[in-house]
């Protein structure tokens, strides 16, 4: 993962996704025009801030517009496969924690502040996906459910997927004091003696279990709580903003038509 700056915004990119010529993506930081606790210029935590900053993020990435989800820490996957789907989802954010699309120009966005943003791209079928995976999503395997939807709805072969796991709460900070009542026992192998869970490894294993090749997965290795000047962290600040992670297919013709 590396950082870059474009049109006044600083954001992180995955090296593997950046090598795919037909996809745009970005994980925005809190660096621009502000400082902790909240940088309003890059905050996507509320409807007003999302509306105000969405156009900046769309221009920065080259998206026609961005589809934000009404995230509920569930397992629903929104499928955006037509311009009508896109317009409806932009106007009325679907209640889901993952979105998939084969539509060029459509930016898929998830908001995070310790949860993982997992971005997927199938360069063969030309599809993309954005996943919001908090600890509840992880134990419900939102990643596997999203990849299954890509297979069923858009014809993706998981072996072709390129995946990135964004900055999020790391194994250094993901302590769960009440893990025995919150997290199923099959996940306890991912915790250390201080009851800190490695959700990065859980996501890596879920991606592989779904058929993604390990060589095509990139993990940021950046803990949001340990890097409060770069990223929002709910664990670190309790009251905080949200970052946006965006992915979509490039297509100049569609962007011009939509604008």
Question: CA 218 to CA 49: how far, in whole Å?
Answer: 30
The continuous run of DSSP H or E covering 56 comes out as helix 47-61
Count of other CB atoms within 10 angstroms of residue 177: 8
Question: CA 48 to CA 57: how far, in whole Å?
Answer: 14
**Number of domains composing the chain:** 1
Kindly report the CATH number assigned to the domain that includes residue 128: 3.60.140.10
Average pLDDT value for the chain: 90
| Residues 117-135: tens digit of each pLDDT | 999 999 999 999 999 999 9
How much is the pLDDT for 37? Answer: 37
Cβ neighbourhood burial of 32 (10 Å; 0-12, 13-18, 19+): middle
**Nearest residue to 143 via CA among 100, 112, 108:** 100
The continuous run of DSSP H or E covering 208 comes out as helix 199-209
Show the domain range for 225. 2-258
Per the document, the length of the chain is: 259
How much is the pLDDT for 44? Answer: 59
Say yes or no to pLDDT of 29 above 60.
Answer: yes
Question: CA 75 to CA 80: how far, in whole Å?
Answer: 16
| Residues 70-109: tens digit of each pLDDT | 999 999 999 999 999 999 999 999 999 999 999 999 999 9
Question: CA 151 to CA 240: how far, in whole Å?
Answer: 36
Find residue 3's DSSP bridge partners. 12
Question: CA 2 to CA 82: how far, in whole Å?
Answer: 32
Say yes or no to pLDDT of 238 above 50.
Answer: yes
Across 212-233, average pLDDT: 96
């Amino acid at each position: 993962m590396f950082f870059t700056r474009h049109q006044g915004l600083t954001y992180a990119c995955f090296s593997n996704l950046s090598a795919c010529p037909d996809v745009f993506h970005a994980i925005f930081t809190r660096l621009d025009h502000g400082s902790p606790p909240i940088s309003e210029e890059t905050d996507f935590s509320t409807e007003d801030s999302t509306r105000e900053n969405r156009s900046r993020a769309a221009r920065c990435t080259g998206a026609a517009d961005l589809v934000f989800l009404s995230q509920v820490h569930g397992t629903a996957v929104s499928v955006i496969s037509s311009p009508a789907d896109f317009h409806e989802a932009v106007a009325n954010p679907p209640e889901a924690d993952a979105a998939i699309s084969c539509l060029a120009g459509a930016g898929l966005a998830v908001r995070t502040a310790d949860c993982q943003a997992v971005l997927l791209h199938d360069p063969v079928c030309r599809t993309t996906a954005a996943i919001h995976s908090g600890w509840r999503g992880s134990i419900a395997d939102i990643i596997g459910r999203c990849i299954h939807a890509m297979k069923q709805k858009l014809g993706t072969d998981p072996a072709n997927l390129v995946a990135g796991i964004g900055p999020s709460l790391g194994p250094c900070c993901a302590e769960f004091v009440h893990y025995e009542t919150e997290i199923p026992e099959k996940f306890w192998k991912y915790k250390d003696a201080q009851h800190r869970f490695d959700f990065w490894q859980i996501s890596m294993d879920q991606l592989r279990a779904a058929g993604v090749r390990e060589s095509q997965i990139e993990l940021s290795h950046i803990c949001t709580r340990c890097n409060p000047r770069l990223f929002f962290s709910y664990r670190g600040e309790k009251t905080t903003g949200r970052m946006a992670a965006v992915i979509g297919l490039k297509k100049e013709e569609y962007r011009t038509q939509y604008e």
